Homo-oligomer: A and B are copies of this chain.
């Protein structure tokens, strides 16, 4: 408050100086992303310093806190800005994304409701996304923290579609007297699908795990058989998940065939396209996603293949009315007015579980407008090409073995000299650890058909051919070293 209590800086000029210095440091750190190691462990003394910091009763200065950030945090980031960060499925961020987040925080908008610029931008962004995926203009959507939340929202909306609006009051046990609801997803589907069913009260057993074929796509005959068996038992199939880009190997289900099954079986068709959905922007990958336009809902991330800073995802819902009815809220303190600050219906808090919510849409809007969809399409195509080339090189390099075909941008392989399975698992885990701990590259591990493999997600916009070659060379070098250490051959 103006009697000295306001949290505004006592000296705006000093704050401004610091902020500009911090901005320069931040830009430098992005511009030099290649120069540091791909990962470095947080030193023990830094961990101790963080943990020993007592609950701050008295404050400090912005300058001091920034200095601590620079010493304790900035150098020990997870590394996904680095061109040889291939672990899991991480986006790399952009300098412009940082700029947009700074603007968002300066506005400090609560984008849950009310009449101001943010909801107009978010609504328009949703319209763009609907157009990208061939959804009708009547579709709805909301920017989420990511696909986990987007999947959950889709399950809640589909549940209401199956059980009727009274489910919000009576719960699923009473509403589903016609027969328990069951859902279907492939064994490659992301864990957040099962989590969504846990949270929604159905339990993960309600999700039938359908096996995949040799290309890691859902086996459609097995799907039909599972649906028949469930119907025969008096259960009610209601939800089928198509995966567009699986987390382990990047597989894409046959989305058009799944659309047919959903139409025949009158099931809600949800597509988890966390990272893969955006491959629709690439002319070379687009056909892989044929059928996505027939989904009832699509979940995907902006913070992966669009490199928007964490976190930002989206859910699109074909039936916008049902989506709204699944979350609307007539609390007295949310009373709407025909105009004024309390106008601007519908409010975004009625399309998801969050009442207060940040203006995540701005960084996405900023990113799409600056780069344009064609640029992302080119980038995605190039990365998929690079992944394919890397896969081909692996296939002809002894003793490397591919564990899955490269569908999109994920390369999953192992260093596989003639050894027992257990020893191979150990060697490959060791290679991944050594790559990380030597700061060379960050790969992650996964299991494919029970075999521990090395997972490379070729997504970073800074990654070059040379980075892939260097990484494979290092895998070979580390594999040989691990082999010598574990079990001297010959």
State the copy count for this chain: 2
Kindly list chain B residues whose C-beta atoms are within 8 Å of the C-beta of A167: 198, 203
Contact B2 A462 (CB under 8 A): yes
Which chain A residues numbered 373 to 430 have a C-beta less than 8 Å away from chain B? 373-375, 378-379, 382-383, 386, 429
Kindly list chain B residues whose C-beta atoms are within 8 Å of the C-beta of A463: 1
Contact B7 A27 (CB under 8 A): no
User: A484 interface residue, CB < 8 Å from B?
Assistant: no
Contact A47 B120 (CB under 8 A): yes
User: A215 interface residue, CB < 8 Å from B?
Assistant: no
Kindly list chain B residues whose C-beta atoms are within 8 Å of the C-beta of A225: none
Q: How far is the CA of A100 from the CA of B65 in the complex (A)?
A: 10
Kindly list 17 other residue pairs between chains A and B, CB separation below 8 angstroms, not including A111-B310, A340-B437. Answer: A50-B124, A51-B124, A53-B369, A59-B371, A59-B375, A60-B372, A76-B116, A77-B107, A91-B108, A97-B105, A110-B303, A169-B203, A171-B198, A171-B202, A313-B356, A332-B446, A340-B433
Contact of A341 among B107, B109, B444 (CB under 8 A): B444
Kindly list chain B residues whose C-beta atoms are within 8 Å of the C-beta of A462: 1-2, 6, 8
Q: How far is the CB of A278 from chain B (nearest CB, A)?
A: 14
Q: How far is the CA of A111 from the CA of B5 in the complex (A)?
A: 33
Contact B62 A310 (CB under 8 A): no
User: A101 interface residue, CB < 8 Å from B?
Assistant: yes
Residues of A within 8 A of B (CB-CB), count = 184
Contact of A311 among B42, B333, B357, B445 (CB under 8 A): B357
**Which residue of chain B lies nearest to A310 when distances are taken between CB atoms in the complex?**
B358
Q: How far is the CA of A149 from the CA of B145 in the complex (A)?
A: 11
Q: How far is the CB of A200 from chain B (nearest CB, A)?
A: 5
Kindly list chain B residues whose C-beta atoms are within 8 Å of the C-beta of A329: 191, 195
